[in-house]
């Protein structure tokens, strides 16, 4: 977007605020005005919109100074910068925000502004819903235009930029006293200092004043703020990186999709776990039935292959279905007479006949089993042999 919003804040909430919307493409002012106080910044929220916003703050609310700091070991020396300025700044250095400006030979420009003041400015803008890209001391937004200094009349104050990273805001009542002290000592045969003047009737002793186009003061500052060498939004005040609304929308969609995938995988995992548990239960039941039917089998490795082997040993490979159907019909009888156990089974598929040797604890158990089985099958029972604590016999079953 080619349009930008520029705002100049005051030192306090009650101070007036100037603003200007500038079109870089058309090189013209779209709108401008002045607000009675910082609380009125909400009237600029809609104007800010998606435009870049740059903010100017009064140099009178901070300290712009220089310290002698050689380039060698500068990085280590910057860590001790606040303590190097303790005697220059009246406030406690722990309460100050320091910003390093450009270097001028052995001199390093430094700006010190109170955290409380920074918090005030940031809170005014935040309350108005205005997001800013940079905050610049107003004097450092004055274009130098190939001159050493630049000056602008701002009502009761004179903005003076005295170098690439240095400047001051002077009350006009102080000019006669302060200006001579600010002017550098002129060396013999040295040309007078050149000053870019953006207001009428600016007079400086021992200086060469170059008049510049007389634009609105905010227009002058707006043209120079983008080339300013400093931005107070540094350190703890660096704006957090923001994503566009579309990117945030896709980010939310991605999060929802990720959660859905995770939930789907968890659900599938639970289903698999339940199926595995059920499969294990079925396998255990099958092995229990197999061992009950074929008691002489001590270890089951592969129930399917062992079952096939038992079927082949019981004569014929074509009567498996009939054999299991007959076994299924005997299951209730075995359950009602649990102490009666089969010792061996032999199935004749051609005759559809099952012969088994069984062992029980008493004759009554054999008789009861016989009564139960005869309901569904024709049964022939061989001789009953008795031992010390059991009886055994041979039973031959045929389907009715």
pLDDT at 316: 46
pLDDT at site 10: 94
b/e map 334-346, b = 16+ CB within 10 Å: beebeebbbeebe
HSE of 257, CA atoms in CB hemisphere, 13 A: 6
- DSSP for 169-217 reads EEEGGGHHHHHHHHSPPPPTTPPPEEEEE-STT---TTEEEEE-----H
- Residue 149 burial (CB count, 10 A): 24
Q: How many helices (H) and strands (E) does the chain have?
A: 10, 18
Structure pTM?
0.60
Closest by CA position to 368, among listed 356, 357, 381 = 381
CB atoms within 10 A of CB 18: 20
Using alpha carbons only, what angle is made at residue 324 by residues 318 and 326, rounded to the nearest 5 degrees?
A: 110
CA distance 99 to 81: 10
Name the maximum alpha-carbon separation found in the chain.
146
Amino acid 260: pLDDT:
84
Contact 1, 43 (CB under 8 A): no
- pLDDT tens track, the chain, 400 positions: 578 999 999 999 999 999 999 888 888 899 999 999 999 999 999 888 888 999 999 999 999 988 887 777 666 667 777 778 877 777 788 888 999 899 887 888 999 999 999 999 999 999 999 999 899 999 999 999 889 999 999 888 999 999 999 999 988 888 888 888 888 776 666 788 899 999 988 888 888 899 998 889 999 999 899 889 999 999 899 987 654 455 556 777 778 888 888 888 888 888 888 888 877 777 776 777 666 666 666 677 676 777 666 666 654 444 567 777 888 888 888 889 998 888 888 888 778 888 989 999 998 999 999 999 998 899 899 888 888 789 999 999 988 7
Distance CA 213, CA 207 (A): 19
Q: What is the secondary structure of 123-142 as a DSSP string?
A: HHHHHTT---SEEEEGGGGS
Name the DSSP class of 353. E
């Amino acid at each position: 977007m080619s349009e930008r919003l520029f705002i100049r804040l005051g030192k306090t909430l009650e101070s007036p605020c100037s603003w200007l919307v500038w079109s870089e493409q058309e090189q013209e002012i779209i709108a401008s005005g002045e607000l009675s106080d910082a609380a009125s910044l909400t009237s600029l929220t809609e104007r800010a919109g998606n435009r870049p916003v740059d903010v100017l703050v009064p140099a009178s609310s901070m300290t712009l100074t220089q310290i002698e700091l050689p380039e060698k070991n500068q990085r280590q020396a910057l860590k001790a910068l606040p303590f190097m300025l303790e005697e220059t700044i009246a406030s406690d250095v722990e309460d100050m925000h320091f910003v390093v400006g450009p270097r001028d030979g052995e001199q390093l420009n430094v700006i010190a502004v109170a955290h409380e003041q920074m918090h005030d400015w940031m809170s005014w803008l935040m309350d108005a819903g205005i997001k800013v890209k940079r905050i610049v001391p107003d004097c450092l937004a004055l274009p130098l235009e190939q001159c050493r200094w630049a000056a602008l009349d701002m009502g009761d104050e004179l903005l003076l930029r005295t170098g690439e990273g240095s400047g001051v805001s002077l009350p006009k009542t102080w000019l006669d006293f302060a200006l001579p002290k600010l002017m550098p000592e002129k060396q013999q045969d040295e040309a007078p200092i050149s000053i870019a003047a953006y207001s009428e009737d600016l007079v400086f002793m021992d200086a060469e004043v170059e008049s510049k186009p007389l634009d609105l003061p905010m227009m002058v500052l707006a043209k120079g703020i983008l080339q300013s060498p400093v931005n107070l939004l540094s350190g703890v005040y660096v704006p957090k990186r923001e994503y566009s609304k579309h990117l945030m929308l896709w980010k939310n969609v991605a999060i929802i999709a990720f959660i859905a995938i995770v939930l789907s995988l968890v659900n599938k995992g639970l289903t698999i776990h339940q199926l595995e548990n059920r499969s294990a239960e079925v396998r255990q039941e099958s092995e229990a039935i197999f061992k009950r039917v074929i008691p002489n089998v001590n270890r089951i490795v592969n129930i399917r292959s062992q079952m096939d082997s038992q079927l082949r040993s019981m004569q014929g490979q074509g009567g498996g279905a009939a054999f299991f159907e007959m076994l299924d019909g005997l299951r209730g009888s075995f359950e009602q007479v649990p102490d009666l156990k089969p010792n061996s089974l032999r199935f004749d598929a051609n005759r559809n006949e099952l012969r088994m040797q069984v062992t029980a604890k008493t004759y009554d158990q054999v008789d009861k089993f016989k009564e139960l089985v005869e309901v569904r099958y024709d049964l022939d029972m061989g001789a009953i042999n008795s031992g010390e604590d059991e009886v055994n016999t041979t039973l031959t079953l045929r389907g009715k």
